Amino acid sequence: MALFRSKPKLATVLGRAFSCLVCGGREFRSREVKLNSTGAEFFDLGWANRSATGVICDACGHVHNFVGNAVEFWKVDGGYPAGAE
């Protein structure tokens, strides 16, 4: 379903350029990831668990999870903001 895939983007974490921890790739896609706990799933309350931002490497597919607002995404052709590299 490539029709619905977003374009890969550059990412910064706390204002610093981010690279994949596995392959060193620098282009990512993102999606919401539920941080499910066994207790909540047992009582059918999985919807109440916290979420993280899944930063998915476009080269190798490794998923890096970040909780909070530490991650920002940038257009590949737009480049990183000043001071991010």
Longest dimension (CA), the chain: 47
| Whole-angstrom distance, CA of residue 42 vs CA of residue 17 | 39
User: pTM of the entire structure?
Assistant: 0.74
Tokens of 51: 């979420």
* pLDDT tens digit sequence for 31-84: 888 666 565 555 566 555 567 899 999 999 999 999 888 899 998 887 776 555
**Strand-pair partners of 66:** 53
* pLDDT tens digit sequence for 69-82: 889 999 888 777 65
Q: 7-75 has which fold? A: N-terminal domain of TfIIb (2.20.25)
Residue boundaries of the structural domains of the chain = 7-75
| Whole-angstrom distance, CA of residue 15 vs CA of residue 13 | 5
